[in-house]
Structure 1
Amino acid sequence: MSAPAALAMAKLFWPETKKSTARAKDVYNMQKGKEHNIIEAASNGASISIKLIANIAVNLIAFIAILDFINATLIWFGHRVDMYQPELTFSLVCSYLFYPLPWIMGCSRIDVFRVASLIGTKTFLNEFVAYAELSVFISNKNIFDEYMALSNGTGTIQEIADSDDILLGNGTLLARGMLTERSTVIATYALCGFSNLASMGIMIGALGAMAPSRKADITKVVVRAMIAGNVACFMTACIAGNA
C-alpha cells in the first residue's frame, strides 16, 4: 500500500507540467565503473561513501540534539508552574497537536491521545523512538490479556488517578496503559515511514553530498517532501484500520 500512496502524494505535491527529458535509454547507457574486480570496487565504494555517511550521522545527531533540548526546556518550564503529573513533555504537546489525525484514521476514542503522541514522536524525532514507545503499549496489552485469561475474566484492574497507568489485581503496574488491537494496527502503519525532521537532515546531507550543486534545490523542497511522506503513511493507516 505504501508504494501507491507515495506515488499518489508525489504526483499531487509535484505534478508533472512538462515532458520529462529523462529517457529509459539514458539509464541503460550509464557508464560502467573502471574497477577491475569486486575487491577494488568494494574498496573504492567504501572510500567514496565516507563523506556521505559522515554527513548523515552529523545531521542526525544535530536534529536529535535540538529536539532533546526542546523537550528538556518544556519540562523545566512545566516544573516552574508546578506541572509534575503529567509533566509538560514534548509527547504531551504532540498528543494535543496531532489529536485530529488518529481520530480521522479511525482509532478508538480512548486511544486517540496515545496514538497522537506516537505520531508526534515519529514526526519530530524518528520512527525508531516511536516504535519503542509503541512496543510498551503492545507489551502491556499482552500482559493484560494473559492476566485476564488466568483469572478467567474475573481479574480486577485499577486506573491510577491523573495518569494512564493501570494496576492489575496481582500488583503488576502497566505504565502508560495500553492500546486496543485496532489502534495498534493503525499506529503501526502510521509510524512506518522515514518522514520526520531528523530524516530531513539525513536527506540534505546524503543528497547534498551526491549532488553538491543541487543542495539549494533539495533544501527548498525537503519540508514538502516530509509532509507528503507523512500523508502517505496516514493513507496506509486509514486503509489498514478499515481492513
Structure 2
Amino acid sequence: MAVEFIKPFMGEMTRSELHCIMAAGFCGVPAAIFAMLLNMGNYGNHLLAANLMTIPAGLGMAKLLLPETEKAPLGGANIKPLVSSENTVFEAGSNGAISALPVVAHITVTLIVYAALMAMVDAVVGSMLLAIGFTVRLQHLQSLLRKNGRTDSNASRSGNGARVQERAAVVATYALCSASSLEQMPVVANVLTNIAPPRRAADIQGVRWRALFTGCLSTCLNACIAGCLVKD
C-alpha cells in the first residue's frame, strides 16, 4: 500500500509535511473506487484527468493552508533509498502482503466503528426528536448532501439522478472526484497514526480537519478550471 512507502520517514516529517501527506489521502479517489466509477458512466477521460489534476492542486492547497515554518530534516539529499532484504520474488511478495495486513485490518475496523457510531447517533437523536413529535433521521439529510452545497437546477437534477447538461455533468465529475468525506477522515487519520511513531499522533490528529478541507478545495479548484475550459 502507498502508506508503507512513507512509513520510515514519518518520524522525521514536519507538521506541514504531515498535512500534505494527509491531504493527499483526501485528494482523488483510490484505484478500486476509480475502477468502479469507470463502469458507472462515460466520463473515464474526465475521471482520469481529475485524479491527475488533484496532485498539484492538493499539494498547492496544502502548502497554502499550512505553510512550512520549520526546518525540514528530510530533504532531497537526505532521503536514502530503501534496500529490500528479501532474496526471492516470492519472499518479497509474502512479506509485502503480511506488512499490509495491519493497515487493511485497521481500515476495516475503522469503517465498522464509524458505521456503528452513525447508527447509534441516528437512533438516539431520532428517539429524542420522536418524543417531541418530530420524525427526523440521518437519511433525511441525504438529499441535501447530494446537492453539494448548491441550490441551482442542475445540482438538484444531478442529486435526483435526472439527466443534466453535459457541462454540468463534467463539472460535477471534477467536483466530486475525491475522497474528502467525513467517513474517510477517521480512516486516513487512524491509518497514518497507526504507522507513525506515537509522538506524532497528536500532530496527525491536529491537522486532520484542515487536510479534509484541503481535499475539498482542491477538487473545487479542479471543477472551476473544468468549468472554464468545457463549453456547452
**TM-score in same-fold range (> 0.5):** yes
Q: Which amino acid aligns with 1:217?
A: D
What is residue 205 of structure 2 aligned with on the other side? 219
- Tell me by how many angstroms 1:237 deviates: 0.7
What is residue 217 of structure 2 aligned with on the other side? 231
| Deviation sequence 1:190-229 (CA, Å, 0-9, x none) | 1111111122122123212211412222111111100110
Q: Does the C-alpha gap of structure 1 residues 220 and 39 become closer, same or farther in structure 2, counting only changes over 3 Å?
A: same
Superposition pairs of residues 175-190 of structure 1, within 5 angstroms:
177-190=162-175
CA distance in 2, matches of 1:219, 1:53: 20
CA distance in 1, matches of 2:185, 2:207: 10
Task: Determine which of 98, 101, 105 is the counterpart of 1:50.
Answer: 101
Contact 2:181 2:212 in 1 (8 A): yes
What is residue 63 of structure 2 aligned with on the other side? 11
Superposition pairs of residues 23-34 of structure 1, within 5 angstroms:
23-27=75-79, 29-34=80-85
What is residue 197 of structure 1 aligned with on the other side? 182
CA distance in 1, matches of 2:124, 2:169: 30
What is residue 90 of structure 2 aligned with on the other side? 39
Q: Which has the larger radius of gyration?
A: 1
CA distance in 1, matches of 2:155, 2:215: 21
Identity %: 32
Q: Does the C-alpha gap of structure 1 residues 21 and 212 become closer, same or farther in structure 2, counting only changes over 3 Å?
A: closer
Q: Which amino acid aligns with 2:188?
A: M
2:154 maps to 1:111:
yes
CA distance in 2, matches of 1:197, 1:88: 15
Superposition pairs of residues 19-98 of structure 1, within 5 angstroms:
19-27=71-79, 29-67=80-118, 80-81=133-134, 89-94=140-145, 98=148
Q: Does the C-alpha gap of structure 1 residues 81 and 207 become closer, same or farther in structure 2, counting only changes over 3 Å?
A: closer
CA distance in 2, matches of 1:236, 1:70: 34
Q: Which amino acid aligns with 1:191?
A: L
CA distance in 2, matches of 1:72, 1:182: 40
Contact 1:71 1:90 in 2 (8 A): no
TM superposition score normalised by structure 2? 0.63
CA distance in 2, matches of 1:182, 1:54: 40
* Residue aligned with 2:183, SS: helix
Contact 1:52 1:205 in 2 (8 A): no
Q: Which amino acid aligns with 2:166?
A: E
Contact 1:2 1:233 in 2 (8 A): yes
Which blocks of at least 5 consecutive residues in structure 1 are unaligned?
104-108, 119-135, 138-176
* Residue aligned with 1:90, SS: helix
CA distance in 2, matches of 1:31, 1:230: 33
| Deviation sequence 1:86-114 (CA, Å, 0-9, x none) | x9712234367x53xx46xxxxx312345
Contact 2:61 2:214 in 1 (8 A): yes
Q: Which amino acid aligns with 2:185?
A: M
- Tell me by how many angstroms 1:14 deviates: 1.1
| Deviation sequence 1:54-82 (CA, Å, 0-9, x none) | 1111112222444455567788859x547
Contact 1:95 1:114 in 2 (8 A): no
Q: Which amino acid aligns with 1:47?
A: I
CA distance in 2, matches of 1:179, 1:110: 9
Contact 2:126 2:135 in 1 (8 A): no
